Amino acid sequence: MFREPRSSAPLDRIPVQALGAGEGQITLLPPGEISYAFLGSAAPTELLAICREKRWCLEAGRVYLRTARAIYRTSYRRLAELGRELEPSGPRLFFPIGRACFVNTMKIAALDTAGRTPLLVFHAADGSKEMLMVTRRAWPALRERLRLRRRSGGAPGPASGSRHAAGDMPATAHRRGDRNIGKTNAR
């Protein structure tokens, strides 16, 4: 099957349909307005509550976009496909925080790293907050992308009761592989 070569021009607008809008109403959404994109099967709990309240149904195999104003359904079936379309739109704005979600780094309002899992905070137009969890695997790269420093200082012991920044390991954990350096195999 022949496919046309993909254009390297940035995607100016994404055709989407607002949840709850009429069947034939298509909105052309600029990529800069997107707060985050997610698969319907991995919708954040805050959005699931909104959808239940308004009796909206999210399809598991569909990509949805969240802006400060609304939730939009796209024609995309995979996040990677949408990500490839958005990639040429300049500096890398969109960053994966898990297998089923990527965020616009310019729309992150705050970070909550007090717990074991880092949370990204987004503000909606109605003043409410939505939080997304960042996977352990994605956290170091996102922290680097946002140019956040690791917390400095010695590794606190278990008796101190203090916590490390989410995704940070104590200094001793980084040295585990160095235990056998300098030892010889004496038998």
pLDDT band at residue 10 under the 50/70/90 scheme: low
Higher pLDDT residue, 26 or 156?
26
The set of residues, in sequence order, having a beta carbon less than 8 Å from that of 160 and lying 6+ positions away, is none
pLDDT at 187: 47
- What type of residue is 99? R
- Whether the per-residue pLDDT at 103 is higher than 50: the answer is yes
| Coil vs helix vs strand at 84 | helix
Higher pLDDT residue, 163 or 134?
134
114-134 pLDDT, tens digit per residue, is 888 899 999 988 888 889 999
165-to-64, 134, 170 alpha-carbon distances in Å: 30, 13, 10
Supply 31's token pair. Answer: 């990529």
pTM (predicted TM-score)? 0.71
CA 63, 69, 71: angle at the middle one, nearest 5?
20
16-73 pLDDT, tens digit per residue, is 999 887 777 898 999 889 999 999 988 888 788 888 888 888 888 899 999 999 999 9
| Domains annotated on the chain, with CATH | 14-149 (2.40.50.1020)
127-155 pLDDT, tens digit per residue, is 888 899 999 899 998 988 888 877 644 34
The set of residues, in sequence order, having a beta carbon less than 8 Å from that of 152 and lying 6+ positions away, is none
Higher pLDDT residue, 11 or 147?
147
Higher pLDDT residue, 145 or 1?
145
DSSP 115: S
As a whole number, mean pLDDT of residues 100-112 equals: 92
pLDDT band at residue 1 under the 50/70/90 scheme: very low
pLDDT band at residue 74 under the 50/70/90 scheme: very high
pLDDT band at residue 91 under the 50/70/90 scheme: low
